[in-house]
Amino acid sequence: MSATTTTGPVFAGPRTALPIPAEVDVLIVGSGPNGATYARVLSEHHPRARILMVEAGPRLTTVPGLHTRNITDPDEQRRTVRGSEGGDSTDSAEVGTHLRQERAGAVPAAGTFFVDRDAAARDDDGTLPAAALSSNVGGMGRHWACATPTPHPSELPRFVPPGEWAELLGRGRRLLRSNDRPLTDAAHWAECLRRVSAAFDASLPDDRRSGNMPVARRSAPDGTVLWSGSDTILGVLATEPRETFTIAAETLCTTLHEEGGRVRAATLRSLVDGSTTTVAASVVVVAADSLRTPQLLWNSGIRPPALGRYLGDHLVIAGAFTPEYLDAPDDVSEIFGAGRSLNNTTGTASNGLGTIPFNPVTHPLHSQFGQAAVQREGGRRPVGVTMFGYLLPKQARFEDRVRFRADKSDRYGMPAIEFDYSLTERDRALADLATANVVRAAEALGASDVLPVRQPNGMSLHYLGTVRMGAEDDGTSVCDSGSRVWGYDNLHVACNGVIPAELSCNPTLTSVAMSVRGAIAAAAVLEAAMA
């Protein structure tokens, strides 16, 4: 699939001939899945509303937010992935130096860059050393694994009724184009599922047993898999130029200006020439990921007690092995493709992706496992690898936090991001359980001597709780159940950080569902402003 098949939406600001508008109805800071959700829902509720979306990273494809797996040209795909890492698409020599140094030591996930490359190399205790970000139009939605598991009811805030959660999650699935059908019908994948089921399902309730992972994707007429990105959520906003929807790339929102419990305007700075623009807006949505959303609020003097607190991250414990019904590859890249990692097991028709869902009583953690295999010409059976891993829900604590330095800047000139983060006894007990379960799964698949690996804190990229939702303004949350920041009529936050931590599964579906609820609440504010 080509990345340049349509005219796309209207772009303004850096590297365009159009100026950024001085006044809009809605300002959305960030272009990832949650920012896209607000744009989509608000545009549907108010087709005449003028929406401006700003993104610190560059525009890398004509269709904004196109998932990189949908780019078939290898050179273009590499350029797009690299451009999301804070370099190559900018003129900053300093950023280029950061990237070269990152590649010399610890390496972040493709399409991301470490918050602190030196901390990542040291893997220090008491922090989140491998925390990483992605900067580009489309955000992390260009690179995510597209897994959309359903959270257990006990993991969702109880101040929103269960029936409403069901509706919100259903709408989130539709926006993401989540698909429950298996990625492959290969016999080797059926055997993997059968053995995992035999090893784990007896202790699990009927509705939370092992099986295929729901994955956000659809099929083209020729059968090609099209992976969902932020463009999928935007829908026609990503493909049709509209006077009411504008994107400004390489544009950093540095400050929100509030007065009397409302954000009246925002200061935007071009990352190309350093020029600044002030934009007035009736509704402001900060969807700048779970680390940069609280960073912008903090830099704007909007500092509720829970801002950046209750930081959660999925500790990842996994093992890779060849099951007894497959032959071991001589070179793993033969199975996963050039430049791909064992974490990415969903890119070809012969790959399967599965899950053992969280259950609070008998399986208090979330498993994600994948298997990839290639049938060689003349081979007796496929050559392949299984990756069996766990995501562990971090115990939510006020002490775990992202904090910001007024005396030190990040690569964009914003207050530097630092962390206080430690594992509890409960976290360590879950890590032990996950380690034992990886070994158990490997043995069920006929592999032995498997040594599960614990990834450095932060490698999951699933950062929760930093602008968490709450039932009341009691100092333990940043926003209400409509994702509106306490004390502000028109300021919403949208990212995985809205999730009140202790979520075990991949968070995108859950955060998008929360953003749907927030966008509906914002639509009511916008209606009054446009009356």
Return the domain boundaries, the chain: 181-226+315-392+422-456
Q: Is 282 helix (H, G, I), strand (E, B) or coil?
A: strand
Please compute the mean of the pLDDT values over residues 45-50 and round it to a whole number.
Answer: 97
Element (H, E) at 230: helix 230-234
Span 35-43, average pLDDT = 98
Average pLDDT over all residues of the chain? 91
Would the pTM count as exceeding 0.85?
yes
- Active-site amino acid positions: 462
pLDDT at 72: 86
Instruction: Look at residue 393 and tell me whether its pLDDT is greater than 60.
Output: yes
123 vs 126: CA distance, rounded Å: 10
Q: What is the pLDDT of residues 346-391, one digit of tens each?
A: 444 468 999 999 999 999 999 999 998 887 777 788 889 999 999 9
pLDDT at 103: 38
Strands 211-212 and 401-409: unpaired
C-beta of residue 368 within 8 angstroms of C-beta of residue 212: no
- Quote the pLDDT of residue 34: 98
Q: Which of 160-169, 290-299, 349-358, 409-418 has the lowest mean pLDDT?
A: 349-358
**Higher-scoring residue by pLDDT: 300, 98:** 300
Amino acid letter, 67: H
Indicate the pLDDT class of residue 334, thresholds 50, 70 and 90.
low
Cβ atoms within 10 A of the Cβ of 521, count?
A: 17
What pLDDT, on a 0 to 100 scale, did the predictor assign at position 350?
Answer: 66
- Nearest 5 degrees, angle CA 193-CA 194-CA 199? 95
CA distances from 18 to 22, 51, 58, 76, 254 (A): 12, 15, 16, 26, 21
Asked whether the beta carbons of 110 and 102 are under 8 A apart, the reply is no
Please determine, looking at this structure, whether the domain spanning 181-226+315-392+422-456 carries the CATH number 3.40.50: no
Query: What is the per-residue pLDDT for 185?
Result: 86
Evaluate whether 306 touches 414 at the Cβ level (below 8 Å): no
pLDDT for 314-326, tens place per residue? Answer: 999 999 999 999 9
Q: What tokens does 451 get?
A: 């040594």
Percentage of the chain surpassing pLDDT 90? 81
Question: Mean pLDDT, to the nearest integer, of 245-274?
Answer: 97
pLDDT (average), residues 38-58:
98
> With 90 as the cut, is the pLDDT of residue 164 above it?
yes
More confident of the two residues 108 and 5 = 108
β-strand pairing of 245-248 with 10-11: parallel
Show the tokens assigned to 271.
């990352």
SS3 264: strand
Please answer whether residues 373 and 188 qualify as being in contact, where contact means their C-beta atoms are separated by less than 8 angstroms: yes
Q: Where are the beta strands (DSSP E) in 73-147?
A: 113-114, 132-133
Pairwise CA distance, residues 410 & 98, whole Å: 11
